[in-house]
Structure 1
Amino acid sequence: MTVAQQRIGRIQWGDLQFGPGSRYHVTAIDGLDDLPDIRSEDTERPGQNGDYTGPDYTGPRTIQLGLGLRADSPDELRDLVIALRAATQPQRQPAAVQLLDQDTLVYGKIRRRNIPYDAEYLWSTGTAALEWYCADPYLYGLTEYSASTTAYSPAAGRTYPMVYPRAYGAAGQSGRISAFNGGASPAYPLLRLDGPVANPSIEQVNTGSGLTIDASLGEGEWLIIDTRTRAVLLNGSSPRRSWVRAGAQWPLLQPGANEIAYRGSALPGSPGQPSLLTLTWRDTSL
């Protein structure tokens, strides 16, 4: 009987690749499939047994990687050590750790690096250990999905005065996007709105959550909305968080099928220029 084996496979970190086909053999990995520490919102029940339990959230994820360095000479081994050291410097921002054969991506910062010196084995082999701190604990799919729609516009209705045969205006446009999250956790989509449009609104039809922008975008202007960080950037750089109408429930993509509705009003003088919503996301799990 053949027993299936789980293999880590290739891991891409910057310009370095670990695993099969490289000089850096993966010997161990910890923290990838583990559930990060839970940050609960439980409170004691005064005068009673037990707690009032609230929602559970997770803390950051820590991933530890063990490597075996394999070279053909001491000089080549030294080159491997220097390249690994150069690739694991302190970082200002997290970067992508890609597990290419597991269709998994995490964002982390190098927090520990250990490359021991062992004179008995250093002729052509060595070991190393790395640790990534992932403030964002989610596991993402490698594939980034994207879909777009124009804003909903109502049907034009009847034409008056009425003549026979009767003439009707064009049917309304749906202004909807179907998005599938193949993971087990809600995904935080990135939203881009391209003008011209006034007071655009985005609704997650499945859950009823959504947000409205109390502003107008002219032709050639766009707005980036990051639902995870809650950043709202005009033309990708100028903060406009205050444009989000109070009481917004930021839309998330639940596991499985999702439907997003996009509505907005045309600006005076540009009724024939449609606004565009572009939705970008990855499958997401914990």
Structure 2
Amino acid sequence: MAQQRIGRLQWGDLQIGPGSRYHVTAVEGLDDMPDIRSDDMERPGQHGDYTGPDYVGARVIQLGLGLRGDSPDELRALTLALRAATQPQRQPEPLLLLDQDTLVYGKIRRRSIPYDAEHLWSTGTAALEVYCADPYLYGLEERSASTVAYSPAAGRTYPLVYSGGGRTFGSAGQSGRITATNDGDSPAYPVLRLDGPIANPSIEQINTGGGLTIDATLGDGEFLLIDTRTRAVLYMGTSPRRSWVRAGATWPLFMPGRNDLAYRGTALPGSPGQQSLLTVTWRDTSL
């Protein structure tokens, strides 16, 4: 269960909190709403505005840290280790707030480690600013569910496959169906993996009526990776195949609560008994 107190953080190999020499003294921006990017326009000759949907900008998290060593030399070593762990980055990295069951992706944009000659014996302070271009707060646990493609001729029931230390993320159902639960407060963007053999696979999101169809054939041992956030479609996980998505697609988006997917396709001749597999992964998502 998530706690109100934030004590344990992890940034790369750097451990912060109980059991370490770094302690959290302040956190700002985690539970705050990022700045709103609105699309409001004045109503000419009338009171009020025309207003459109609101979107949030980047999230900025401020961290206050306390450093505690047993000697000035150890305090200096802690300072150098913190400096080494907070260098400029090319890509965002995960910041794990372990007591909050929360993960964010960010870059260290500012670092302050002041020197106080009057008190600098074995303790010190530091301040970090974490810039999160992606403002979402994610659950630490990546959830997963799988199903084989629906086959009208089979008429069988297959169990779904789950991961996550025994937690239940959905219920078993008929071949070709997945139930996924997003326990967050905002829509979650799932990652879809389609393993052949199958022709023209389609994924329908039953609760919204949306879905997408792939105009291609995947042989045995071939797979397609679909990231619904970036809309990247990667054959064998590396080669772009965005053109395979049939026009008019509505990309799956897991709303808070229960979400139902149906997976269908055409079996390949000469592949009796071999079934295509859809694997869906996601995280609980909030703002």
Q: TM-score, normalised by structure 2?
A: 0.90
Q: Which residue number corresponds to residue 16 of structure 2?
A: 18
Match of 1:116 among 67, 92, 114: 114
Instruction: Give the Å deviation of 1:130.
Output: 0.5
Where do 5+ consecutive residues of structure 2 fail to align?
158-173
State the shift of 1:210 in Å. 1.1
Name the CA distance, whole Å, in 2 between partners of 1:90 and 1:195: 41
Q: Distance in 1 between matches of 2:261 and 2:202?
A: 10
- Aligned equivalents of 2:50 and 2:225: distance in 1? 39
- Residues in 1 aligned to 2:194 and 2:25: alpha-carbon distance in whole angstroms: 46
Offset at 1:261?
0.8
Residue in structure 2 matched with residue 92 of structure 1 by the alignment: 90
**Residue deviations 1:178-205, cap 9 Å, x none?**
1111111111111000011111111111
CA contact (8 A) 1:9 1:102 kept: no
1:215 maps to what in 2?
216
1:83 partnered with 2:81: yes
CA distance in 2, matches of 1:220, 1:255: 34
CA distance in 2, matches of 1:198, 1:21: 54
28-37 or 15-24: which moved more? 15-24
Contact 1:12 1:100 in 2 (8 A): yes
Percent pairwise identity? 81
CA contact (8 A) 1:154 1:171 kept: no
Aligned equivalents of 1:42 and 1:271: distance in 2?
58
SS of equivalent to 2:99: coil
Structure-1 residue corresponding to 2:55? 57
Taking the aligned partners of 2:75 and 2:231, their CA distance within structure 1 comes to: 46
**Mapping of 1:192-271 within 5 angstroms?**
192-271=193-272
Aligned-residue offset at 1:15: 0.8
In structure 1, C-alpha distance between the alignment counterparts of 2:246 and 2:41, rounded to whole Å: 32
Q: Which amino acid aligns with 1:250?
A: W
CA distance in 2, matches of 1:246, 1:136: 28
- CA distance, structure 2, for counterparts of residue 154 and residue 20 of structure 1: 56
DSSP 3-state at the match of 2:80: helix
Measure how far apart 1:248 and its partner are. 1.1
1:163 corresponds to: none
**Which residue of 1 is the match for residue 27 of structure 2?**
29
- 1:271: how far off? 4.1
The one-character-per-residue Cα deviations of 1:129-169 (angstroms, maximum 9, x if unpaired) are 0011101111011111111001111136xxxxxxxxxxxxx
- TM-score normalised to structure 1 length: 0.91
Q: Distance in 2 between matches of 1:53 and 1:211?
A: 31
Query: In structure 1, which of residues 69, 77, 84 is the aligned counterpart of residue 67 of structure 2?
Result: 69
* Other-structure match for 2:44: 46
Residue 188 of structure 2 aligns to a residue whose secondary structure is coil
| Residues in 2 aligned to 1:213 and 1:46: alpha-carbon distance in whole angstroms | 46
Give the C-alpha shift of residue 77 in structure 1.
Answer: 0.3
Q: Which secondary structure does the structure 2 equivalent of 1:48 belong to?
A: coil
How many Å separate the matches in 2 of 1:42 and 1:192?
A: 39
Match of 1:176 in 2: 177
List gaps (5 residues or longer) in structure 1. 157-169
Q: Distance in 2 between matches of 1:45 and 1:267?
A: 58
Q: SS of 2:82's equivalent?
A: helix
Separation of aligned partners in 2, 1:171 and 1:139: 39
Call closer, same or farther: CA 1:246–1:27 in 2, change over 3 Å.
same
- For residues 174 and 6 of structure 1, the distance between their equivalents in structure 2, rounded to whole angstroms, comes to 41
Q: In the TM superposition, what whole-angstrom CA distance separates every residue of 1:92-133 from its partner, at most 9, and x where no partner exists?
A: 111110011110110111111111111111111111100111
Counterpart in the other structure of 1:162: none
CA distance in 1, matches of 2:258, 2:208: 12
- Give me the whole-angstrom Cα distance separating, in 2, the residues matched to 1:150 and 1:178: 13
1:271 and 1:138 map into 2 onto residues whose CA distance is: 44
Which entry has the higher C-alpha Rg, 1 or 2? 1
Secondary structure of the 2:254 match is: coil
Aligned residues: 269
Decide whether the 8 Å contact of 2:7 with 2:23 is kept in 1.
Answer: no
Residue type of the partner of 1:199?
N
2 CA distance for matches of 1:141 and 1:51? 37
Matched letter for residue 240 of structure 1 = R
The amino acid that maps onto 1:175 is: G
Shift of 1:171: 4.8
